Structure 1
Amino acid sequence: MRPGYGMFQQQAAKMRLTPQLRKAITILKLSTPELLEAVQQEMNDNPILEFSGNEWDAYTTTYKFQSAIGRRDQIYDPLQHASSNEESLERHLKEQLSFVKKISPSIRKMVAFMIGNLDNNGYLGPSLHEISDVCKVDLAQAELALRILQGFDPIGIGARNLRECLLLQVQSLSECFPLVSLLIRNHLKDVADYRIHKLSTILQVTSQEIQAAIDVIKELNPRPGSAYHIEAVHYIIPEVIIEKTGEQLVVLIHQAASPRLSVNGYYQRMGKESSNYNEAAKFLSVKLNSAMFFLKCLEQRRKTIFRVAQAIVEEQTEFFWKGASFLKPMTLKHIADKLGVHESTVSRATVGKYAQTPWGIFELKHFFPSGLLKETGDSASSEHIKARIKEWIQRENIAKPYSDQKLTELMIQEGIQISRRTVTKYREELGISSSLRRKRI
């Protein structure tokens, strides 16, 4: 037979996601804040849906529902309309500028221009040449305006680089630190790399003096304007509450994560009493079916998350009773097999969902740590290893801190087979400096 092209008919089985199934999957993936937004949007689109209670309060969102036909009126909250007292960096600096009297209008205008060109950390972006060109003034006036700005609070504001920012702060200290200024001006890279012996040899001073100077530099603020940079606050609403009750662990679904919706009886009766050929009846029929499916999705989501949380508690019982160091390795597949669901279902039910536990609030994904094999045949989770690293470093001799190799040897002595590279990775994830930087002479 010769190969060639042609058109053929054949039957093939393919799995397709219906719009309803897509919506159910999407609702399961939503975090609690996203779910509250989705519920509110669904209620705006579907007049048949309403909350079962007269009032519903989910932290900062409060709604009130009245009348038999499901009319919605939002409770007026005066705090929602109160102005913010948070002061911006620009406002803080311009208030100080208003108290400076003996300067010309052109200098005042230039200082205000510089204030408007500071970044979130308080550094001045454009150069003095660029500022003098834009403001149509000579370079000497731009330098005078910069000195005025750099005299404002917070100290270090208006600096053009890290070195200048640190020097401004050192100059404002009550005690004179010539060695600190010298290190900042000429050896900032060596200070960052913590090369104490090299600096001691170059500057002909003792290692203790270098150490003391570096400690002073660490106390300085490299980002003086960051305290005035207000970022949006993202609140976490725990999906699950896990509590100790006597000798048992109880799993509860948070009320905010399980809004109590129902179908409005008035519209439901109207749909039944209307003719099947009535346009209003057709509209109500579509909305009723949509509402019932949405309620089904919410209930399925609640049950799935509850089952997953309950399975996590059963598998991680020691963690909830004893603490983080007893968290054991676990996979999504293990929970999926236990519940008889697909692994992707467990993944959707844990991503972006949080649990309030006796040890704090954790994302449900936190309870699925990776692990390393122990000599006994068991495995140790990454969280357990991090906890041990933190404990050893807290008890170490600051004159001879544990190196990553020494920490590796301590792990191996406990029967945990781990490489030095992995120890280094876990130490950095904990935000702990290397042994060279932890050392105190």
Structure 2
Amino acid sequence: MGSMGDESKESFNGVFVPNDTRGKVITCKAAVAWGPKEPLVIQDVQVDPPQSMEVRIKIVFTSICHTDLSAWLGENENQRAFPRILGHEAAGIVESVGEGVIDMKEGDHVVPLFNGECGDCVYCKSEKTNLCGKLRVNPMKRVMSIDGKSRFSSMDGKPIYHFLSTSTFSEYTVVDSGCVVKIDPNASLKKMSLLSCGVSTGVGAAWNTANVQPGSTVAVFGLGAVGLAAAAGARAKGATRIIGVDINPDKFVKGKIMGMTEFINPKDLKRCVNEEIKELTEGGVDYSFECTGNLEVLREAFLSTHDGWGLTVILGIHGSPRLMPVHPMELFDGRRITGSVFGDFKGKSQLPQFAEECLNGVINLDEFITHELPFSKINEAFQLLIEGKSLRCVLQL
């Protein structure tokens, strides 16, 4: 827990949150990334009070996504910023709110959002997008919106940068009020942490972006947490055939639990994956989901859909400057291709309903948690992800 001395604290569902730190700087533990591929350092940092329209959160659970891994590896030079506090999948409890925040209060259970929703801009008022003109996902952003400064600093006063508007690898973090949503206080914070990225992205891609129909056929390329969530979402909507594609055959064990009916390992084939899928499905699947961030895989996913109506949804992060491997004339065959950010969920206005559906068993969140570790072992959790041994390793702070 943060360094609060003997100050009084209040308990919310067994989690102790200081009730007399409002307006004060908090000293707490955070995992700081000091450079590409350098082990994260658990150290004391200072977290400033929230400013106008900001919220300070006590993080209770956080997990690691491939986006965190990519940032830590420094794969995109334009996005490098160190020292930095990474992390964007989490759940916690509001410690204090800044001036003007009226939809949250101290003690509320919340999930941070890397793709925010201000609620006032032309984007937020449109039903056609879940992007926000002010708070949409921005990996380049490293400071707060209102004043262009960081709320984190080292003990000698040097600033530490934010990440994806959330920075959840810290016992306390400060976010824009549009980048956090209140959830049911009776829901498990451990499970709810999964909704701030991977599960929502995959399930939402099947439900909102693709609008998978009952009786349809689906192919999922890349069986990490997002791909498995897309499969689970497709199953929940009544897809009858869900084909998983991955070079790791161990992934199919979990894939079957999530609803996959068939599995293809490209290494076992003597022809292209799309040709195999077309033969299996008499022309191609209705929907494909690309969850790898690999352009060659994207082309296979696109060509594996049925001409005339096939839809490919891109979920993988493509950091390469190379362009999409699709000739314009190939789109004249009726296949479509689109991207999906956060599963097209509007975070503040729609995520609570999705959380409720998960609590009712529509999506089994327990299956995504493969490991649990204390926050102090965050570097071990990174290694599990690197080695492909974990879907989500949840860290308790």
Q: Structure 2-normalised TM-score?
A: 0.20
TM-score (norm 1): 0.18
In terms of fraction of residues, the more helix-rich structure is 1
Greater fraction strand:
2
